[in-house]
Amino acid sequence: MTTTKDLIGRPAAPVQDRDRPEAAWRRMLSGSGTGIAVATVLLFALSPIIAPGSLGAAPLLSMLPFAAVLAIIAAGQTLVVQQRGLDLSVPGMIALAAVLATGLPQSHGWPLWAAVVAGVAGPGLVGLVNGLLVTVFRVMPLVVTLGMNAVLLGTVFFLADGTPSGAPDALNRFALSRTFGIPNTLLIAVGIVGIAALVTQRLIVGRRLTAVGVSERAAAALGVRVNAYKMVAYGFAGLCYGAGGVLLAGYVKTPALFLGESYLLPSVAAVVLGGTALTGGLASVAATGVAALFLTQLGQLFRSMGWQDAMQLIAQAAVLITVVLAREMLPALSRRRAARRAASGAPDGVDRGASGA
């Protein structure tokens, strides 16, 4: 049996040794990022055993760019989920970014840098519109983003005239190239996720975003401009989707018009596995990035084992459901256990030694 101290240094109630496993599991599922970090390490350790050759240099270098794109997209989804929303416009955002980055240089003669800026900024503006509809007009986030996704896909088909364009050679070379042996897409992902993590965890902006996600009323009472910060979250999410879409378009060379369809479920799964609750509040962009790496390597392992794409989606959904259920059930079990202890213990203020005499 061990003892702890409370916040002001007084001895607190003893902590039973048998509580340690339960507390460890609670920490693993509490959103601290510990759980997904441990799971990722175990996955990479077991991958060569389950499927020899799945962790060689070639498979790893082919996996990392897709993990980087997913990490960038999931970083944006993290901020939306933190604000008690769920962004279903991810496929349309990615497709819009891809069609702008590839179509503007070929069809309209735009310089590549301007097309890339348009591919990133366009979804960012759409994200602000989503935030405006959610905050000012009080429309449910699911309804707003689902409707916006349909609008974006229609816009993409109109701009592309039903035929996808190939990425400019410079964009394709950049997405495929490596710097000091590290894929450029991964370097960009580390930069975006790192900056986002720094802002959300260390700066006042991030603390206010967290406050709004935890309780809008409490944040408003403290003078936080709730609507403005929620719009910032949706706008930043759009920028992340745009950056991910541009990089993905450059990597695959000729992006399909439904390029982003396969990233909706993984983006949500990465957010949940990273520890962010679907009810909003505390969030970790860095843990989401690690979860994106976990999911991509898991898919790589399944492919090495001969699993088809449909089975991979089912496995991702199963992992997502398992984690959500575990987070709901563990606190309930802890409360029941505490209630049983309280019911079987001595009444408050009665010395157990004296009462048993």
Whose CA is closest to 88, among 151, 154, 144?
144
Q: How many residues does the chain have?
A: 357
Its sign, for the CA torsion 33, 34, 37, 39, is negative
- Amino acid identity of residue 240, one-letter, is C
In DSSP notation, 283-320 reads --HHHHHHHHHHHHHHHHHHHHTT--HHHHHHHHHHHH
Whose CA is closest to 46, among 228, 291, 298, 320?
298
pLDDT value of residue 196: 96
The continuous run of DSSP H or E covering 182 comes out as strand 182-183
- Tokens representing 295 are 């999911």
The continuous run of DSSP H or E covering 357 comes out as none
**Cα 24 to Cα 17: distance, rounded to the nearest angstrom:** 12
pLDDT reading at 321 higher than 80: yes
- Tokens representing 238 are 């759009």
234 in Cβ contact with 128 (< 8 Å): yes
User: For 279-290, what is the mean pLDDT?
Assistant: 93
Neighbours of 190 (CB within 10 A): 15
The continuous run of DSSP H or E covering 163 comes out as none
Q: Model-level pTM?
A: 0.86
Is 120 exposed, middle or buried (CB count within 10 Å of its CB: 0-12, 13-18, 19+)? buried
32 falls in which pLDDT band (50, 70, 90)? low
Whose CA is closest to 81, among 239, 282, 296, 252?
282
User: For 326-332, what is the mean pLDDT?
Assistant: 75
pLDDT reading at 282 higher than 80: yes
- Tokens representing 147 are 């409707």
314 falls in which pLDDT band (50, 70, 90)? confident
pLDDT reading at 31 higher than 60: no
**Cα 297 to Cα 55: distance, rounded to the nearest angstrom:** 9
303 falls in which pLDDT band (50, 70, 90)? confident
pLDDT value of residue 93: 98
**Cα 19 to Cα 111: distance, rounded to the nearest angstrom:** 62
Rounded to the nearest angstrom, the gap between the alpha carbon of residue 352 and the centroid of all alpha carbons in its chain is 50
Q: Are strands 182-183 and 178-179 parallel, antiparallel or unpaired?
A: antiparallel
Give me the domains of the chain, ranges plus CATH numbers.
Answer: 52-330 (1.10.3470)
pLDDT value of residue 347: 53
Q: Any bridge partners for residue 15, and if so which?
A: 2
34-65 confidence digits (pLDDT tens): 889 999 999 999 999 999 888 888 999 999 99
pLDDT reading at 353 higher than 80: no
pLDDT value of residue 318: 85
Q: How far apart are the first and last CA of the chain?
A: 24
Q: CA of 168: how far to CAs of 107, 115, 244, 279, in Å?
A: 11, 10, 16, 41
- Amino acid identity of residue 86, one-letter, is L
**Cα 239 to Cα 119: distance, rounded to the nearest angstrom:** 9
